[in-house]
């Protein structure tokens, strides 16, 4: 995961995190985000991923990482165990996103999510004019090889948070490695949210 | 790659707990003197902060790496220990000792009881994983090491790692338990019990007092055969033997026709030459009785532990399946211990921790580096 994680994305997430905080990164991939958070914010970092190579790369970077399936929950961690739980490019790929998000909100005082916006304008145009499932920089896969199991827009996610009484403290949007300020549901490839209960 | 520094390694020994300062065993019994056979590789740095204690499995010994003089077979974990390897002897001072109760130079049932001047045999006291670790702690004291950089071991060695985490948490900086468990399941006890019954059913066993007579070779060989089956996997056996029959087989009804039969017989027979049947009984009992929980809850066992842990399991290991390692990880998480967990791919089964060392080496190497970098030690030449 974190395949398209750019410096900008890392900067957005890093800006939302307090120095010295404890951080759990669900679907931490090769651990690049955690490594930059340790460097910039001196966080106490813990990663979880299922992929063999991801685990080995994390350990090679000196990170603490657990090879586990986040769909099975985080039951060993007590409530508010971490200051932040991060789901960057992760929860659209889990089997039970609702469950995983609720678990993340339970064990984290705050959570940060980042996901590709399925209704980004390029995707909309591809669907409308080409009549095909979109392939974009933030959704680079063909229908037959995508790890993404759930497709959602920024508007969908905001509605979900409202329904679940999740507070959106901050949000940020990006496209083509730049910040998007106008009509994010249309012009953003990726959305980031800082959430709390 | 030949490693000159480990060409002529020697086993040394340390004797302690001489009366009246005997070791108090977990059973409450006082026991001494105790001798531990041990080997070291690499150099202890001036701060004495680069020592790694390697803990062996059931049939292992102090000879973990390198070659004894005029010997062609290296130590049992030679793949992992040496110059530039996972446990890099250019950086770390590696110590490995034979456990108490063993038969490779440390005090065990085959040692001579100074009181009777005869081998202990069945008079040897019941020993536990805790006793093994307590004895190792005396050796570490003797070597002048206050804090070990890491304790590392697989299987029964992994149990000793876990015991170190509980008994002497302030004396370790990191722990690497591999392919192990916090307690044996009935299935694991059952396999050991069949091995023990095979030994005790051998008429040569004579209730453990067979020294200077005939050893219970048949019984011990059968015990080892059972052990070997559990150390391999369905896939590794199929790959190694298939259903191939031996070309040299004689027209005898119950000969070792299949290659796997010949292999097990060979393994059993060679084991008898290097291992003591009573040690097998005592050590398997120690493994079976091992229970890290010891009446405590899982969340309590590692409470307050500052050491970092790297827990490793192998996917094809059905003797110590990954779920048992996940239980260790769970205990770490509940106690807030800084832990990493990795399940390695291998078809070798339980034996993978000794054989499939490439990934294991990489993980251990990087993990140890992150631990030693943190306190600015580990590199002698820094």
Query: Within a 10 A sphere around the Cβ of B126, how many other Cβ atoms?
Result: 14
- DSSP calls for A62-107: T--EEE--GGG--TTSPTT-EEEEEEES-TTSSS-HHHHHHHHHHH
The pLDDT, as a whole number, for residue B245 is 82
Interface contact A56-B341, CB threshold 8 A: no
At the topology level, CATH places domain B188-286 in: Rna Polymerase Sigma Factor; Chain: A (1.10.1740)
Bond from prior residue into A14 cis (ω within 30 degrees of 0): no
Domain boundaries, chain B: 4-183+291-374, 188-286
pLDDT range class, residue B250, cuts 50, 70, 90: low
Identify whether B155 is a catalytic site residue.
yes
Tens-place pLDDT, residues B158-198: 999 999 999 999 999 999 999 999 999 999 999 999 999 99
The pLDDT, as a whole number, for residue B249 is 64
- Residue A50 contacts B where some CB pair is shorter than 8 Å: no
Helix (H, G, I), strand (E, B) or coil at B50: coil
Mutual angle of helices B217-231 and B277-289, in 10-degree steps: 40
The pLDDT, as a whole number, for residue B357 is 86
Token pair listed for A133: 């499932």
**Own/partner pairs for A169-176, CB < 8 Å, 24+ apart?**
A169/A110, A169/A194, A169/A195, A169/A196, A170/A16, A170/A194, A172/A12, A173/A117, A174/A6, A174/A8, A174/A9, A174/A12, A175/A120, A176/A137
Of A66, A76, A77, the CB nearest to B340: A66
Q: Decide which of A2 and B117 is more confident.
A: B117
The pLDDT, as a whole number, for residue B379 is 40
Interface contact B341-A60, CB threshold 8 A: no
Say how far apart CA A35 and CA A30 lie, in whole Å: 9
Residue written as tokens 């291992």? B275
Token pair listed for A57: 């790369």
- Residue A71 contacts B where some CB pair is shorter than 8 Å: no
The pLDDT, as a whole number, for residue B1 is 47
Indicate if the pLDDT at residue B242 is higher than 80: yes
pLDDT range class, residue B252, cuts 50, 70, 90: low
Indicate if the pLDDT at residue B106 is higher than 50: yes
pLDDT range class, residue B2, cuts 50, 70, 90: low
- Residue B358 contacts A where some CB pair is shorter than 8 Å: no
pLDDT range class, residue B117, cuts 50, 70, 90: very high
Interface contact B366-A52, CB threshold 8 A: no
Token pair listed for B193: 């019990």
Indicate if the pLDDT at residue B367 is higher than 90: yes
Instruction: Find the mean pLDDT for residues B43-59.
Output: 97
Domain boundaries, chain A: 7-118+149-196
Indicate if the pLDDT at residue B295 is higher than 80: yes
Minimum mean pLDDT among B4-13, B106-115, B245-254: which range?
Answer: B245-254
DSSP B125: P
The pLDDT, as a whole number, for residue B373 is 87
Interface contact A62-B308, CB threshold 8 A: no
Mean pLDDT of chain B: 94
The pLDDT, as a whole number, for residue A14 is 96
Instruction: Find the mean pLDDT for residues B267-283.
Output: 97
pLDDT over 70, % of chain B: 95
Interface contact B366-A64, CB threshold 8 A: no
Helix (H, G, I), strand (E, B) or coil at A190: strand
The pLDDT, as a whole number, for residue B256 is 75
The pLDDT, as a whole number, for residue B381 is 38
DSSP B245: B
Nearest to A49 by CA among A77, A79, A81, A27: A27
The pLDDT, as a whole number, for residue B254 is 74
Mean pLDDT of chain A: 93
| Residue pairs between chains A and B whose CB atoms are closer than 8 Å | 49
Architecture of domain B4-183+291-374: 3-Layer(aba) Sandwich (3.40)
pLDDT range class, residue B101, cuts 50, 70, 90: very high
Nearest to A186 by CA among A196, A173, A197: A173
- Residue B300 contacts A where some CB pair is shorter than 8 Å: no
Of A64, A68, A77, the CB nearest to B338: A64
Say how far apart CA A189 and CA B150 lie, in whole Å: 46
Interface contact B342-A56, CB threshold 8 A: yes
Architecture of domain A7-118+149-196: 3-Layer(aba) Sandwich (3.40)
Residues of A whose CB is below 8 A from B373: 62
A193 contacts: CB under 8 Å, gap ≥ 6: A112, A113, A114, A157, A161, A168, A170, A171
Identify whether B350 is a catalytic site residue.
yes
Residues of B whose CB is below 8 A from A55: 340, 342
Chain A residue with minimum CA distance to B365: A60
Instruction: Write down the pTM of the prediction.
Output: 0.93
Say how far apart CA A45 and CA A106 lie, in whole Å: 18
Q: Decide which of B381 and B153 is more confident.
A: B153
Instruction: Find the mean pLDDT for residues A17-35.
Output: 97
Tens-place pLDDT, residues A67-120: 999 999 899 999 999 999 999 999 889 999 999 999 999 999 999 999 999 989
């Amino acid at each position: 995961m974190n395949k398209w994680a750019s410096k900008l994305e890392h900067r957005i997430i890093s800006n939302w995190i307090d120095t010295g905080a404890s951080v759990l990164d669900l679907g931490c991939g090769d651990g690049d985000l955690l490594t930059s958070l340790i460097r910039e914010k001196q966080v106490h970092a813990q990663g979880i991923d299922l992929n063999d190579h991801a685990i080995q790369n994390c350990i090679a970077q000196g990170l603490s990482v657990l090879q586990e399936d986040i769909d099975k929950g985080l039951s060993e961690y007590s409530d508010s165990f971490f200051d932040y739980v991060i789901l960057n490019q992760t929860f659209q790929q889990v089997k039970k996103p609702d469950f995983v998000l609720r678990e993340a909100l339970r064990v984290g005082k705050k959570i940060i999510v980042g996901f590709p916006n399925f209704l980004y304008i390029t995707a909309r145009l591809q669907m409308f004019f080409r009549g095909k499932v979109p392939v974009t920089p933030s959704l680079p896969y063909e229908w037959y090889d995508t790890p993404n199991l759930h497709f959602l827009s920024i508007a969908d996610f905001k509605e979900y948070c409202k329904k679940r009484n999740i507070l959106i403290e901050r949000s940020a949007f990006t496209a083509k490695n730049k910040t998007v300020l106008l009509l994010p549901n249309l012009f953003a490839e990726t959305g980031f949210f800082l959430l709390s209960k | 790659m030949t490693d000159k520094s480990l060409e002529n390694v020697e086993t040394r020994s340390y004797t302690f707990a001489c009366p009246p300062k005997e070791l108090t065993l977990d059973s409450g019994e006082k026991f001494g003197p105790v001798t531990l056979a041990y080997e070291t590789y690499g150099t202890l740095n001036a701060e004495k902060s680069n020592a790694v204690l390697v803990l062996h499995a059931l049939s292992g010994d102090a000879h973990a790496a390198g070659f004894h003089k005029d010997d062609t077979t290296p130590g049992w974990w030679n793949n992992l220990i040496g110059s530039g390897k996972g446990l890099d002897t250019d950086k770390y001072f590696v110590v490995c000792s034979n456990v108490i109760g063993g038969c490779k130079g440390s005090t065990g049932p085959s040692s001579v009881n100074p009181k009777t001047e005869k081998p202990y045999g069945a008079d040897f006291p019941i020993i536990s994983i805790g006793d093994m670790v307590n004895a190792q702690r005396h050796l570490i004291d003797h070597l002048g090491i206050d804090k070990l950089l890491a304790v590392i071991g697989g299987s029964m060695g992994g149990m000793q790692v876990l015991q170190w985490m509980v008994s002497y948490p302030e004396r370790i900086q990191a722990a690497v338990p591999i392919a192990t468990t916090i307690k044996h399941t009935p299935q694991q006890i059952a396999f050991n019990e069949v091995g023990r019954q095979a030994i005790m059913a051998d008429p040569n066993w004579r209730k453990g007092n067979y020294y200077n007579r005939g050893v219970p070779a048949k019984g011990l060989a059968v015990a080892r055969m059972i052990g070997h089956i559990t150390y391999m996997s369905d896939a590794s056996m199929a790959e190694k033997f298939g259903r191939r029959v031996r070309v040299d087989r004689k027209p005898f009804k119950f000969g070792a026709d299949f290659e796997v039969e010949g292999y097990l017989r060979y393994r059993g027979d060679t084991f008898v030459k290097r291992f003591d049947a009573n040690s097998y009984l005592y050590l398997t009992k120690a493994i079976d009785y091992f229970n890290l929980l010891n009446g405590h809850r899982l969340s309590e066992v590692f409470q307050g532990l500052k050491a970092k842990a790297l827990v490793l399991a192998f996917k094809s290991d059905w003797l110590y399946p990954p779920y048992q390692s996940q239980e260790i990880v769970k205990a770490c998480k509940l106690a807030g211990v800084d832990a990493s967990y990795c399940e390695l791919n291998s078809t070798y089964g339980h034996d993978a921790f000794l054989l499939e060392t490439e990934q294991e080496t990489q993980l251990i190497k990087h993990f140890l580096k992150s631990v030693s970098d943190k306190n600015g030690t580990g590199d002698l030449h820094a």
